[in-house]
Amino acid sequence: MAVKTNILDVRARQVLDSRGNPTVEAEVESGRAMGRASVPSGASKGRHEALELRDGGERFHGMGVAKAVGNVRGALRRGVVGLRVDDQRRLDHKMISLDGTPDKSKLGANAILAVSMASAKAAANSNGVSLFVQLRKSGRYILPVPMMNVINGGEHAGNDLAVQEFLIEPVGASSCAEAIRMGSEVYHSLKAILVSEHGRGAINVGDEGGFAPPFRLTREALGSIRKAVSASGYSEKEVKLGIDAAASTFYDEKSGRYTLDGHAMSGEALEDHYARLRDEFGLLTIEDPFHEEAFDDFASITKRLGRSTKVIGDDIYVTNVARIKLGIEKKATNAVLIKLNQIGTVSETEDAIGLARAAGWTPVVSHRSGETEDPFIAHLATAFGADFIKTGAPARGERVAKYNELLRIEEELRSKAGYAGRELG
């Protein structure tokens, strides 16, 4: 006989993500409560990510996830009904073994992750606690520094900026709520500066809610953000800048060169270019400076800039413990981006964060460019003590869903919560 905390039923459906593409939403029902979760989807994906199962064919231009939804309703439901809703590891490992492939390509990482996340929420709701408490029950919680993507380029926007993301990081705030206020103020100052200097067309936004001005050069984008920080009354120490180059997207495998800022560059020349940008703009974070297999180039820039800059690996690691281990061996970076859907279960995501922490690296919990209104990652970042959370501009519903959830979490924790900012500045 099932007790009240066992999984009684699992449901799933197709819903739309923020780019208007279908994605998987699942519901896990325990005797006491229900948990609902939906999965995000990337545009600049790492080659080694777990597989996002898409239908192909004509419906939704091939982007349908009816097969993944079918897998939740069929194989996954049959496999997990009866398991304890609060034994996340057992549940996740059951689904991993039902799939049986290294990249979750049989059932789809989107199917498996939706159930994994929904189950964590069902457990929290069954116990009457917030999700972050369910994910980690003890210890002092530290709220992450928001990394807000205020200018979009690369595959996230229709402009000519090769660098994908230009981020503001309010490390000088005294709380997460204050950081979110500072971020919103800088975002609006930037909007005014872009309108007055480049006209109203410059404030159209990209996939993550950041502006997509008609710039070509990395320096133009960073320069206007720096102006916005100062126009908002903040110093460069209080609000740091960062970039996600997503360099695989401007790397040409044939020539071995990167095309950025009007030049085709070798890895070495690109490192020099980043070093100059770092010196000029005091970049606190540089994500994916090189393509996703360039462990040695990553190690070289980390050695050179890593004392004061977080070199973050995203596409190179894809939240995969085996690849992060390789990175640790090679001293490739000093920080790692964490995305649930790159690996496909909550437990494996927790393991990736734990491994990074043990190596002294900085974990950065991240959204995807295609998101839903699900605020799961706000809880994940709080529960596992991520130093940063990257979840887009302080605008657009699917982005602010996460920032607003952090406000609620901080309010719930009151003085019991710290803010990760100060030590990072």
Stretch of residues binding Mg ion (CB under 5 A), selected from 148-156, 244-252, 390-398, 405-413? 244-252
Q: Is 208 a catalytic residue?
A: yes
SS3 38: strand
Contact 278, 241 (CB under 8 A): no
Which one of residues 25, 169, 297, 314 is an interface residue with Mg ion (CB under 5 A)? Answer: 314
In whole angstroms, give the CA distance from residue 342 to residue 328. 19
Which one of residues 29, 92, 99, 244 is an interface residue with ligand 2PG (CB under 6 A)? Answer: 244
**Nearer to ligand 2PG (CB atom), residue 28 or residue 338:** 338
Q: Does 148 bind ligand 2PG (CB under 6 A)?
A: no
Q: Where are the alpha helices (DSSP H) in 100-173?
A: 109-127, 131-135
Query: Which structure tokens are listed for 132?
Result: 């972050």
In whole angstroms, give the CA distance from residue 378 to residue 403. 7
Minimum separation from the CB atom of position 194 to ligand 2PG (A): 21
Minimum separation from the CB atom of position 8 to ligand 2PG (A): 34
Annotated catalytic residue, options 45, 339, 390, 402 = 339
Residue pointed to by tokens 């982005």? 399
Residue pointed to by tokens 């894809």? 318
Q: Does 244 bind Mg ion (CB under 5 A)?
A: yes
**Nearer to ligand 2PG (CB atom), residue 43 or residue 231:** 43
| Chain residues 24-83 in contact with ligand 2PG, contact rule CB under 6 A | 42-45
Query: Which structure tokens are listed for 196?
Result: 């007055």
Minimum separation from the CB atom of position 46 to Mg ion (A): 8
Q: Do strands 335-338 and 362-366 pair parallel, antiparallel, or not at all (unpaired)?
A: parallel
Q: Which residue is nearest to Mg ion (CB)?
A: 314
Return the closest-CA partner of residue 379 out of 343, 413, 341, 351.
413
Minimum separation from the CB atom of position 378 to ligand 2PG (A): 15
Annotated catalytic residue, options 25, 208, 348, 405 = 208
Cβ contacts of 66 within 8 Å, gap of 6 or more: 14, 55, 59
**Interacting residues with ligand 2PG (CB under 6 A):** 42-45, 165, 208, 244, 246, 314, 337, 366-369
**Interacting residues with Mg ion (CB under 5 A):** 244, 314
